[in-house]
Structure 1
Amino acid sequence: MDFGLVYPALVAGRLLLAFAPLPDALKHDHQLSSPLTSYPRLQEGVYLFQHGIDPYSGGLFRHSPLLLSLFSTALPLNKFTSACLWTACDAISAWALVKIWRARQRVSQSSRDSLIAAIYLLNPYLLLPTLALSTSTIENMLFLLSLMFASQGQSSPSLLALALLVQLSLPSAIFIVPMILLLLSDPVSRLASPREFNTYLSSILAKLGTFLGFSFALTSLSVLVCGNWTWVEQTWGAAVMLPDLTPNPGLWWYFFTEMFDHFRPFFLMVFSAHLLIYVLPVCLKFQHDILYATYILAGVYATFKPYPTLSDPGLFISLISLFPETYQYLRYPIVTTLLHLHSALLLPLFHHLWLSQGTGNANFFYASTLVFGVSNGAALLDAIWAGLRIAVGNLPEGYELIQK
Structure 2
Amino acid sequence: MTEKTWSPTSRPTVSASYAFPAMVAVRLLVALVQPFDLIHDHQLSSPLTSYRNLQEGIHLFRNGIDPYSGGVFRHSPLYLSLFSTLIPKSKTFSAVLWTLCDALGAYALVHIWRARQGLGKHAHSTRDELVAGAYLFNPYLFLPSVALSTSSFENMLALLALMFASQKKQSKALLALSFLLHTSLSSLVLLAPVLLLLLSDPHSHLASPRAFSGDLKRLPSLMAEFLLYFSFLAVASCLASGGITWVSQTWGASLTLPDLTPNTGLWWYFFTEMFDHFRPFFLMVFSVHLLIYTAPVCIKFQYDLLYASFVLFGILGIFKAYPTLSDPGLFITMHVLFPEVYPYLRYPIVTALLHLHASLLMPLFHNLWLAQGTGNANFFYASTLVFACANGAAVIDALWAGLRIALGEEKEGWVIAQE
Q: Do Structure 1 and Structure 2 share a fold, with TM-score over 0.5?
A: yes
Query: Alignment partner of 1:306: what SS?
Result: coil
2:110 matched to which residue of 1?
98
1:15 paired to 2:28: yes
Residue number in structure 2 paired with 1:289: 304
Give the structure 2 partner of residue 398 of structure 1. none
SS at match of 2:252: helix
Kindly provide the CA deviation profile for residues 276-312 of structure 1, in whole angstroms up to 9, marking residues without a partner as x.
Answer: 0000100000001000000000000001000000000
- Kindly provide the CA deviation profile for residues 239-267 of structure 1, in whole angstroms up to 9, marking residues without a partner as x: 00000000000000000000000000000
Q: Using the TM superposition, give the Cα deviation of residue 176 of structure 1 relative to its aligned residue in structure 2, in angstroms.
A: 0.5
Could you tell me how far apart the structure 2 residues matched to 1:77 and 1:158 are?
30
Give the residue type in structure 1 aligned to 2:110: V
Matches within 5 A, 1:361-376: 361-376=376-391
Give per-residue Cα distances to partners, 1:175-221, cap 9 Å, x unaligned: 00000000000100000000000334431111111111100000000
C-alpha separation in 2, matches of 1:216 and 1:202: 23
- Distance, in Å, in 1 between the alignment partners of 2:27 and 2:149 is 15
Q: Contact 1:22/1:131 (CA < 8 Å) preserved in 2?
A: no
Unaligned runs of 5+ in 2: 1-12, 411-419
* CA distance in structure 1 between the aligned counterparts of 2:208 and 2:111, rounded to whole angstroms: 24
1:185 to 171, 183, 200: 200
Residue 39 of structure 1 corresponds to which residue in structure 2? 51
Partner of 1:381: 396
Q: Residue in 2 aligned with 1:266?
A: 281
Deviation at 1:6, TM superposition (A): 1.3
Equivalent residue in structure 1 for 2:93, among 66, 73, 81: 81
Counterpart mapping for 1:145-184 below 5 A:
145-184=160-199
Residues 64-83 of structure 1: CA deviation (Å, up to 9, x unaligned)? 00000000111122112201
Do 2:271 and 2:279's aligned partners in 1 also have CA atoms closer than 8 Å?
A: yes
> Is the contact made by 1:94 and 1:117 (CA closer than 8 Å) also made in structure 2?
yes
What is the percent sequence identity of the aligned residues?
64
What SS does the aligned partner of 2:375 have?
coil
Q: What is the count of residue pairs matched by the alignment? A: 394
Contact 1:7–1:117, Cα closer than 8 Å, also in 2: yes
Q: In the aligned structure 1, how far is the partner of 2:286 from the partner of 2:301?
A: 24
Instruction: State how far apart, in whole Å, the 2-side matches of 1:200 and 1:276 are.
Output: 25
2-side partners of 1:118 and 1:18: how far apart? Answer: 16
Which of 75, 79, 99 is 1:67 aligned to? 79
Partners of 2:199 and 2:215 within 8 A in 1: no
Q: 1:391 aligns with which of 382, 398, 406?
A: 406
Q: Which amino acid aligns with 2:116?
A: R
Q: Which of residues 357, 373, 381 is equivalent to 1:358?
A: 373
Structure 1 unaligned blocks of 5 or more = 396-404
Higher relative contact order (CA 8 A, sep 6+): 2
- Write the distance in 2 (CA, Å) between the matches of 1:326 and 1:109: 22
Tell me the TM-score normalized by structure 2: 0.93
Letter in 2 for 1:225: A
CA displacement 1:108-161 (0-9 Å, x = unmatched): 320000111111111000010000000000000000000000000000000100
CA contact (8 A) 1:251 1:370 kept: yes
The more displaced of 143-152 and 200-209 is 200-209
CA distance in 1, matches of 2:135, 2:360: 21
Cross-structure match for 2:266: 251
- Taking the aligned partners of 2:246 and 2:137, their CA distance within structure 1 comes to 35
Q: TM-score, normalization: structure 1? A: 0.96
Q: Which runs of 4+ in 1 moved over 2 A?
A: 198-202
Root-mean-square deviation (CA), in Å? Answer: 1.0
Shift of 1:394: 4.5
